[in-house]
Amino acid sequence: MKETITIRRANESGFLKVYQFVSNCKPLENYSEHFYKIILRYFGNTCFVAEYNNSIIGFVMGFISQTHNKTYFLWQIGVTPKMHGEGIGMKLLKSVEMELMKIGCERIELTIDPENIPSLKLFEKAGYKNISEKEGSTLVVSGNIAVKDYYKHGRHFMLYEKNFL
């Protein structure tokens, strides 16, 4: 790579680029354009993009909880498929963690679809732990412990966390 990968906070003016990136970054769920505008307008200080050659190659969306003290909820993370295996996800995640520590966050919480093996591998390699059993009823999906009906009936997800302290 001749160009350097840069990681920066996302900004509201780039919401359409973020929307387009997520649209092309399976298996990420894609929300409407206005959703990304609202998130980046009000939570852009905790959303990040990785760029290479003036194009978005990675994105993290999350926010600091108002009910769980000093906790950041990481909602989405994705890397463009053509850059998978290049370490972009880990670089992006580590940058986000460093920024969050600077502003006083003590932990990150996130959910993973039990069938999303690339995300599972990334977060476990980065030291995140499955805490699904602390949340409620669990079941095994694709060999992974997940919270039963976490988002709705039949939508089982794993709950993970990483503590900084």
Query: Going from the N-terminus, what domains does the chain have, and what CATH number goes with each?
Result: 1-105 (3.40.630.30), 111-165 (no CATH)
pLDDT score of 81 more than 80? yes
The torsion angle over the Cα atoms of residues 159, 146, 134 and 78, rounded to 10 degrees, is -10
pLDDT score of 26 more than 90? no
pLDDT band for position 2 (50/70/90)? Answer: very low
Query: Pick from 115, 126, 114, 116: which is nearest to 161 by CA?
Result: 126
Q: Average pLDDT in the 122-136 region?
A: 96
Query: Pick from 102, 110, 113, 108: which is nearest to 141 by CA?
Result: 113
Could you tell me whether strands 71-79 and 107-112 are parallel, antiparallel, or unpaired per DSSP bridges? parallel
What is the chain's mean pLDDT, rounded? 93
Query: Which DSSP state fits 5?
Result: P
Which residues are CB-contacts of 36 (< 8 A; sequence separation ≥ 6)? 15, 16, 18, 19, 22
pLDDT band for position 1 (50/70/90)? Answer: very low
pLDDT score of 108 more than 90? yes
Task: Copy the structure tokens of residue 140.
Answer: 């095994």
Q: Average pLDDT in the 4-25 region?
A: 93
How far the first Cα of the chain sits from its last, in Å, is: 35
Q: Average pLDDT in the 30-50 region?
A: 94
Query: Which DSSP state fits 14?
Result: G
Using CA atoms, how far residue 74 sits from 2, 64, 77, 82, in Å, is: 30, 9, 8, 23
